[in-house]
Amino acid sequence: MNEPGRQGCFVSNDDYAALRSWMALDRATRLAHAGHLPDEHTARRRVEAAFVRHWAGVNWWSESTPAYGLLAGSDTLDAAVLFSGRTGFDRGSRLKSTIEALISELGGGPYLSRYSGRQREEGAFMAGTFWIVAAFVRTGRIDRAASLLDEAVGFGNHLGIFSEQVDPATGGFLGKVRQSLSHLTPIKAAHASKNTRPPEAVVHCGEALESR
pLDDT at 56: 87
Contacts of 205 (CB under 8 A, 6+ apart): 149, 150, 153, 190, 193
**Residue that is last in its domain, among 62, 78, 109:** 62
Indicate if 73 and 140 belong to the same structural domain: yes
Indicate if 174 and 185 belong to the same structural domain: yes
- pTM over 0.85, yes/no: no
**Residue that is last in its domain, among 41, 62, 83:** 62
Domain enclosing residue 25, as ranges: 1-62
Indicate if 28 and 116 belong to the same structural domain: no
Indicate if 45 and 123 belong to the same structural domain: no
Indicate if 155 and 55 belong to the same structural domain: no
pLDDT at 11: 54
**Residue that is last in its domain, among 62, 95, 111:** 62
Indicate if 145 and 42 belong to the same structural domain: no
Indicate if 74 and 175 belong to the same structural domain: yes
Indicate if 11 and 93 belong to the same structural domain: no
Indicate if 26 and 103 belong to the same structural domain: no
Q: What is the pLDDT along the chain (212 residues), one digit of tens a residue?
A: 445 434 555 556 677 788 889 999 999 999 999 999 999 999 999 999 999 999 888 888 999 999 998 888 889 999 999 988 888 999 999 999 999 999 999 998 899 999 998 888 899 999 999 999 999 999 999 999 999 999 998 998 888 889 999 999 899 999 888 778 888 999 999 988 886 654 444 444 445 455 54
Indicate if 117 and 160 belong to the same structural domain: yes
Indicate if 123 and 47 belong to the same structural domain: no
CA-wise closest residue to 79 among 105, 47, 102, 51: 102
Indicate if 95 and 2 belong to the same structural domain: no
The total of structural domains in the chain comes to: 2
CA dihedral 126, 143, 200, 86 (to 10 degrees): 50
